[in-house]
Amino acid sequence: MQTVSTQNLSAHEAAQFQKNGFLVRRALLSESTTSQLIERIDASLNPALAPVEFEADVHYPGAPASRWADGGQTPRRLLHAYGRDPLFASLGKNPDIVATLQTLMQREQVLLSQNHHNCIMTKHPGFSSLTSWHQDIRYWRFDRPELVSAWVALGDETKENGCLLVLPGSHLLDIEPGRFDAALFLRTDLSDNEALLSTAVPVELAKGDVLFFHSRTLHAAGSNKTETVKRSIVFTYRSADNQPIPQTRSAIYQDIPVS
Ligand SMILES: O=C(O)CCC(=O)C(=O)O
């Protein structure tokens, strides 16, 4: 394994990530960067610029039944963030994000996946659904299940507006298949999962904070009960020696070298 270290990430923070499967880096992005990103996102929301995934498409608890139901065309994800706008592409290559990833992955060469996340997540008042407990890797196919996502907060993320909740250390667990449902969400109706679920912690963020989380870390999120749209940008990264399996969804679009 290569050893890569950055000036800006402490050994303690790197160890926290290895132990917990997530790490928050506070105020990694400047006020001017976040303001420009928000402006560009808002210009993409009215009208919502394709490709868009709507609340109705996710079929999560609380989602409108169809695109034609009340709230069905509320945007949930503006897809293909990297290719949408040079500003989003430059965020994907942000030196502080990349340096953090190099340290967390202990690899020099990092690539951004255009196939997973790579989106602007929005949660609108009135029509936002719940995301149940899952590991992102469940539908992804790589040599190793060791990807890291960077979740960039563009405003406060709190329990009230549907911040992420994580189960610390769950990326290290070997959980029997029977503890997940047909769609590979962790079953909340099983007593076997109670102890694990009781360890949940909310990851509250402020504008400019970046949450890094492992692709095996179990996470969930609530709905937005406030009157303000929540906006976040999420990119997923792999190391060069962790290839997508050919002919799978993880290999459709080429990954972008960012280091
Ligand atoms: O609803 C959310 O904000 C969480 C989304 C999420 O966990 C995912 O897309 O993997």
Does ligand 1 come within 6 angstroms of the Cβ of 121?
yes
Where are the chain's structural domains? 11-257
Task: State the pTM of this model.
Answer: 0.96
Q: From ligand 1's centre to the CA of 134, what distance in Å?
A: 9
**Ligand 1 atom with least separation from CA of 230:** 3
2 CA from centroid of ligand 1 (Å): 31
- In this prediction, what percent of the chain has a pLDDT beyond 90? 92
CA–centroid distance for 143 within its chain? 20
Distance 115 CA to ligand 1 centre (A): 15
CB 166 within 8 A of CB 200: yes
Taking the centre of ligand 1 as the mean of its atom positions, its distance from the CA of residue 127, in whole angstroms, is: 15
194 three-class SS: helix
How far, CA to CA in Å, does 133 sit from each of 36, 58, 100, 217, 247? 32, 14, 26, 10, 27
* Ligand 1 and 165: CB distance under 6 A: no
User: Which H or E run contains 142?
Assistant: none
Q: Are 106 and 1 in contact (CB under 8 A)?
A: yes
Ligand 1 centroid, distance to 220 Cα (angstroms)? 7
Confidence at residue 62, expressed as pLDDT on a 0 to 100 scale: 86
Q: Are 82 and 235 in contact (CB under 8 A)?
A: yes
Residue 136 near ligand 1, beta carbon < 6 Å: yes
Contact 68, 50 (CB under 8 A): no
Q: What is the pLDDT of residues 81-137, one digit of tens each?
A: 999 999 999 999 999 999 999 999 999 999 999 999 999 999 999 988 899 999 999
- 8 Å CB contact between 187 and 197: no
Q: Give the tens place of pLDDT for each residue, 12-60.
A: 999 999 999 999 999 999 999 999 999 999 999 999 999 999 999 988 8
B/e letters for 7-29, b = 16+ CB within 10 Å, e = fewer, are eebeeebbeebeebbbbbbeebb
**Per-residue pLDDT reduced to its tens digit, 140-163:** 999 999 999 999 999 999 999 999
- The CATH code for residues 11-257 is 2.60.120.620
